[in-house]
């Protein structure tokens, strides 16, 4: 099947080229010039690299646990099959079909210092922060905003819960287990492969935040929002590769090297999770042994 060869070429070919480019100085207009590991040496001395790394890890470490716990909790409620379940599922999933610029503008508007969100908080006597204009609150703002897109995770957890064998619950009931016990000792362990998969893909996705940060930074996109607080890894990489202002742009070699460092980080984090998963992820097939 030539289709498959083409498909692999589109991915594998570029990958090798990217690896080669990371050892060159390359600005597209001139042919790549081999400079050995100088890109990497320069990256490790680049203060913006560490800012971008810090911001990106911040999002991964804060956002993923919040999203995971919230999504599972809401999925557990939806799994009760209360009246109107289909309606709830539809509404909660609806934002997930919106991913573009318009959705970012909407949240920029909602999270303005005197915007709808802070007006809502004021009803509870809470003085809301400046969100996207205050460097300290830009990332928490992204987390709040991200909650609106939690529907996809919820539906996947819900599908996982529906896949759990009823026999287990029946047996637990006979043993006198209550609802909480069943959730803790049956639902969560049986769901753990799905949770694991969602966490792994969620982390890979969060490492690559770009569009939201790019749009939120607006005219400051070259620097990553108020005081570099939104300078995420891929945004910085984009600025190095495609930034059209200043001497920073069109450094394809530098950006390729950055891409490979990110790839290595993601690989290490994923492998670490695979290793850790042996302690908490339960696969049904193990039971058969």
Partner 1 sequence: MARTDTMTQVARPGTGIKTSGPQRFIDIAGHVLAWLFLVGLAILWLVPFVWMASTALKAPQDLANPSWIPTRFAWENFSFAFSVGMWGQWTTNTVIITLVSVVGTVLSSTLVAYAFARLRWPGRELVFNLVLATMMLPGVVTLIPRFVLFAQLPAFGFQGSRNWVNTFLPLTVPAFTGSSFFIFLLRQFMRTIPMELSEAAKIDGASEFRIWWNIIVPLSKPAVAAVAIFTFQGAWQDFVGPLIYLQSERLYTLQIGLRQFEHAAGGAPAWNWLMAASLVVILPVLVIFVLFQNYFIEGIQLGGSLKG
| Interface with partner 1 in residues 153-182 (CB under 8 A) | 155-161, 163, 166, 169-170, 173-174, 176, 179, 182
Q: How many residues are listed for the chain in this entry?
A: 289
Instruction: Using alpha carbons, select from 243, 70, 42 the residue that is nearest to residue 150.
Output: 70
Tell me which of 121, 126, 218, 268 binds partner 1, using CB under 8 A: 218
- Residue 280 near partner 1 by CB under 8 A: no
- Residue 69 near partner 1 by CB under 8 A: no
Query: Cα–Cα distance between 135 and 132 in angstroms, integer?
Result: 7
- Comparing CB distances to partner 1, the nearer of 56 and 228 is 56
Please report how close the Cβ of residue 76 comes to partner 1 at its closest, in angstroms. Answer: 9
SS3 34: strand
- Comparing CB distances to partner 1, the nearer of 29 and 289 is 29
- Comparing CB distances to partner 1, the nearer of 72 and 161 is 161
Name the segment binding partner 1 (CB under 8 A); options: 34-42, 50-58, 78-86, 223-231.
Answer: 78-86
| DSSP output for 118-174 | HHHHHHTT-----GGGSTTTHHHHHHHHHGGGTHHHHHHHHHHHHTS-HHHHHHHHH
- Residue 131 near partner 1 by CB under 8 A: no
Q: How many CB atoms lie within 10 A of CB 176?
A: 7
Name the segment binding partner 1 (CB under 8 A); options: 43-51, 202-210, 223-231, 272-280.
Answer: 202-210
Largest CA distance in the chain: 74
Query: For residues 221 and 235, is the Cβ–Cβ distance under 8 A?
Result: yes
- Residue 270 near partner 1 by CB under 8 A: yes
- Residue 274 near partner 1 by CB under 8 A: no
């Amino acid at each position: 099947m030539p289709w498959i060869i083409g498909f692999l070429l589109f991915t594998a070919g570029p990958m090798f080229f990217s690896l080669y480019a990371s050892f060159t100085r390359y600005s597209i207009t001139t042919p790549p010039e081999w400079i050995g590991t100088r890109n990497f040496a320069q990256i490790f001395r680049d203060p913006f690299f560490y800012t971008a790394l810090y911001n990106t890890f911040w999002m991964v470490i804060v956002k993923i646990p919040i999203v995971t716990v919230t999504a599972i909790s809401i999925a557990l409620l939806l799994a009760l099959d209360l009246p109107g379940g289909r309606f709830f599922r539809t509404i909660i999933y609806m934002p997930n079909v919106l991913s573009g610029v318009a959705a970012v503008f909407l949240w920029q508007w909602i999270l303005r210092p005197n915007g709808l969100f802070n007006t809502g908080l004021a009803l509870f006597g809470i003085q809301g922060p400046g969100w996207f204009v205050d460097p300290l609150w830009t990332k928490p703002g992204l987390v709040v905003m991200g909650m609106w897109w939690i529907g996809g995770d919820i539906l996947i957890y819900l599908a996982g819960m529906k896949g759990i064998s009823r026999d287990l619950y029946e047996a637990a009931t006979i043993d006198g287990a209550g609802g909480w016990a069943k959730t803790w000792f049956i639902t969560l362990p049986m769901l753990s492969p799905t949770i694991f998969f969602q966490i792994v893909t969620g982390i890979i996705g969060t490492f690559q935040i770009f569009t939201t940060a790019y749009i939120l930074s607006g005219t400051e996109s070259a620097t990553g929002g108020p005081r570099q607080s939104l300078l995420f890894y891929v945004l910085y990489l984009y600025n190095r590769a495609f930034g059209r202002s200043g001497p920073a742009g069109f450094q394809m070699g530098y950006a390729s090297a950055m891409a490979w460092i990110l790839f290595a980080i993601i690989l290490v984090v994923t492998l670490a999770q695979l290793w850790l998963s042996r302690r908490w992820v339960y696969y049904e097939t193990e039971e058969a042994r």
